[in-house]
Chains A and B, each alone.
Chain A
Amino acid sequence: MTIHRTDQWLDTYLDKIKTSQKQPLVEHQKLICKPLTSFFRSIDEKTLQEHLIRHGLFLPHKNNSKYLSEWLEKDFYPFFKKLYQKLKRAWDGPEADIFLFPSNENSRELQEQFKGNAGLSYPSKLFLFLSPKATPKALTALFLHEYSHTCRLHYFEKAEEDYTLLDAIILEGTAEYLVRRLLGSSSGSQIIQTLSEKQAKALWDKWIKKYRDIKRLDAKHDLIMYGKHGLPNHLGYNIGYYLVSNYAAKQNYSSKKILYTPNEEFLSIIKG
């Protein structure tokens, strides 16, 4: 288990942007993103930088030294180390490479919709983008969400290019369900709405049934998940949560059992 010492990378980065004439963009690429490339199959630091920034990583500009210093003072490591050990034991989860970073403090949507915290998860690594203002409860909710992804992705092992829309729907549904079950609904995501049985069935039949096996790289995948271009907002997330929460309500399963339930079992809810 490794929570990597990204605080040391940040210290060096801060030093460089304060003292050297070099551009923060380049230093950010070199000191923050390049070390991460070895944890991916084959990627360059520029592509990874763009990707992580899209998912909430702090921005490379000259004026956030104070913000980064404030973040470093928080010292999130002991908190996540403890949480990770506890959850790994409870869920029988995999070893994971964990990277903690400051989140993008300039994004209003990130602050308003997600309390300034974001993450990105893979079968054996995860990235957490944290606000220095985050409460312990918000941090816990984020970790529960992201680490549940890692556990499920690791358990149902599959080549990344083979992940389907249904995989994503259930992945997000289980994450949302677990956060609400363990911390209460107020810790859940704001993007989730209550769906009636009739609504859920109609949405499933219209938008998901036909496309459940499309792969991640299909343009329709994200459009359905996020509900773009006229589709209901965050459609995939909402259907996923509906399926998992209603299924769980019928069973008396532990959190762990729900986490590792195969996709098809959740579909019994929509199929009757």
Chain B
Amino acid sequence: MSRHYDFCRQNVGRPVKIVTHDGQTHRGIIRKVNPSKVFLDPIDGNRGPGGYGIGYYGGWGWGGFGLGIALGAIATIAFLPFFFW
């Protein structure tokens, strides 16, 4: 079991920054974890590719959570500040 599994499980709902071994950075709110993957909701929703859809939040994909990040691919995880209201 990846050492990141427990961390992710304990921090569902918190925004994090994950850097994977391939050098990619992923920012998001931990939505769901299973023994092999963590699924992040985008913090800035549609900033990247953008566009306007038909009204579904969170996105579809496997189990509704996009593609997920393999826990074994994670180099580092850190919390992000989340200023709400």
**Per-residue A-contact encoding for B47-81, CB less than 8 Å = 1, 0 else:** 11111111111111110101100000000000000
Excluding A53-B59, A113-B56, A121-B51, 15 further A-B contacts by CB distance (< 8 Å) are: A51-B49, A54-B59, A54-B60, A55-B59, A55-B60, A109-B64, A117-B54, A121-B53, A142-B54, A172-B52, A216-B44, A220-B84, A220-B85, A226-B57, A237-B55
> Given the known A-B contacts A55-B53, A220-B85, are A107 and B64 also in contact in the complex, defined by CB atoms under 8 Å?
yes
The interface residues of chain B, by DSSP majority, are classed as loop
> Given the known A-B contacts A114-B54, A219-B44, are A53 and B61 also in contact in the complex, defined by CB atoms under 8 Å?
yes
Task: Determine whether B46 belongs to the interface, using a CB cutoff of 8 Å to chain A.
Answer: yes
Chain A residue at smallest Cβ distance from B60: A107
Chain A residue at smallest Cβ distance from B43: A219
What 9 A-B pairs are tightest by C-beta distance, nearest first?
A54-B59, A226-B57, A120-B51, A222-B45, A217-B47, A51-B49, A107-B60, A217-B44, A53-B61
| Cβ-defined contact, B49 with A40, below 8 A | yes
CB-contact partner of B60 in A110, A127, A160, A228, under 8 A: A110
Task: Determine whether A189 belongs to the interface, using a CB cutoff of 8 Å to chain B.
Answer: yes
Interface-centre pick from A51, A118, A168 (highest chain B CB count, 10 A) = A51
CB-contact partner of B82 in A113, A117, A219, under 8 A: A219
Task: Determine whether A87 belongs to the interface, using a CB cutoff of 8 Å to chain B.
Answer: no
Chain A residues touching B, range: 35 or more
Shortest distance between the CB of B75 and any CB in chain A (Å): 17
**Per-residue B-contact encoding for A139-152, CB less than 8 Å = 1, 0 else:** 00010011001000
| Cβ-defined contact, A59 with B61, below 8 A | yes
The interface residues of chain A, by DSSP majority, are classed as helix
A216 to B60, CA, bound (A): 20
> Given the known A-B contacts A55-B59, A114-B56, A219-B82, are A50 and B50 also in contact in the complex, defined by CB atoms under 8 Å?
no
CB-contact partner of B45 in A110, A142, A216, under 8 A: A216
CB-contact partner of A189 in B52, B55, B60, B67, under 8 A: B55
Chain B residue at smallest Cβ distance from A108: B64
| Cβ-defined contact, B57 with A56, below 8 A | no
| Cβ-defined contact, A118 with B59, below 8 A | no
| Cβ-defined contact, B67 with A55, below 8 A | no
Task: Determine whether A48 belongs to the interface, using a CB cutoff of 8 Å to chain B.
Answer: yes
| Cβ-defined contact, B66 with A56, below 8 A | no
A117 to B43, CA, bound (A): 25
CB-contact partner of A118 in B49, B56, B85, under 8 A: B56
| Cβ-defined contact, B53 with A47, below 8 A | no
